[in-house]
């Protein structure tokens, strides 16, 4: 392992839950050159924490309060001016690492953040169409200039100032299995319902959103060029859209039914005497 003097003055920040299958690969890609690694866990029942500790990471368990709040909590724990925010199922490529090192070494004052492309691997092969690539996002930023915003399930990093485009890919290894993928999507759907409950939705909107999602990914964004993987991803995305909107529709119906059955809503029954 490199000495602290030879490491880049940045903190790698990760939030993770039951990520023992992938966090080792993630940490392997950064621990040799990042001065600090902060891993925030919640409700883990596997070896995620012990694996992170074996790579010299600082591990803090924190109750889950949504993606935005969890990421901002992790950001506050970092001790260096620059932060690199990645997920447990991601890894920094060699080209991206070199680009980050060059960027930090220059330390140009007119840039407060940097973006990179994310390359997703699905069923053992990279996917480059269907809207999944280059999927650019800001991951490197000055601690005092960046903050996670948005709702609890669709957070995004807002950085004050100019953003520099980095070379190289952040590698995303999408879920350990198809079952895990479905389970995660179901969790996201519940977040969606919680964020949008009370909003009216029609069966026509559900159908149109589902169809347009598949058409956009598979046809307009050329998902068909990724073969079966492209078809599956487009179909799954459209099904997920169908499910989350239908769950919201179901929630609204249940709410209406509950209000009708409320004793404050029921008129007294008057008999004939």
pLDDT tens, position by position, 56-93: 999 999 999 888 999 999 999 999 999 999 999 999 99
pLDDT: which is higher, 111 or 188: 111
Calpha distance 5→28 (Å, rounded): 19
C-alpha 22/C-alpha 177 separation (Å) is: 12
Give the three-state DSSP class for 59. strand
Task: Give me the domains of the chain, ranges plus CATH numbers.
Answer: 4-173 (3.90.550.10), 178-261 (no CATH)
Confidence band for 174, pLDDT divided at 50, 70 and 90:
confident
Alpha carbon 253 to its chain centroid, in Å, reads 30
Residue 214 CA to residue 165 CA, distance in Å, equals 30
Which of 192-196, 242-246, 247-251 has the weakest average pLDDT?
192-196
If we measure between CA atoms, which residue out of 238, 240, 230 comes closest to residue 128? 230
What's this model's pTM, rounded to 2 decimal places?
Answer: 0.85
């Amino acid at each position: 392992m490199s000495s602290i003097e030879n490491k880049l003055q940045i903190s790698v920040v990760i939030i993770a839950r039951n990520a023992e299958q992938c966090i080792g690969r993630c940490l392997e890609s950064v621990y040799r050159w990042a001065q600090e690694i902060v891993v925030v866990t919640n409700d883990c029942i596997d070896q995620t924490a012990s694996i992170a500790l074996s790579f010299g990471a600082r591990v803090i368990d924190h109750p889950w309060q949504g993606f935005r709040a969890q990421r901002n909590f992790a950001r506050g724990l970092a001790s260096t001016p620059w932060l690199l925010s990645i997920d447990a199922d991601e890894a920094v490529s060699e080209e991206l690492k070199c680009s980050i090192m060059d960027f930090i070494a220059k330390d140009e004052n007119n840039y407060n953040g940097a973006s990179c492309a994310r390359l997703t691997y699905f069923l053992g092969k990279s996917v480059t169409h269907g809207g999944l690539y280059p999927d650019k996002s800001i991951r490197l930023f000055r601690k005092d200039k960046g903050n996670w915003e948005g709702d609890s399930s669709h957070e995004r990093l807002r950085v004050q100032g100019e953003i520099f485009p980095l070379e190289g890919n952040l590698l995303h290894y999408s879920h350990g299995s198809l079952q895990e993928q479905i389970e995660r999507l179901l969790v996201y759907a519940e977040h969606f319902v919680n964020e949008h409950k009370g909003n009216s939705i029609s069966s026509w909107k559900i159908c149109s959103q589902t169809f347009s999602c598949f058409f956009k990914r598979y046809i307009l964004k050329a998902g068909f060029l990724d073969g079966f993987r492209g078809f599956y991803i487009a179909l799954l995305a459209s099904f997920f859209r169908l499910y989350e909107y239908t769950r919201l529709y179901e929630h609204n119906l249940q709410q209406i039914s509950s209000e009708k059955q409320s004793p404050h809503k029921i008129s007294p029954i008057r008999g004939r005497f």
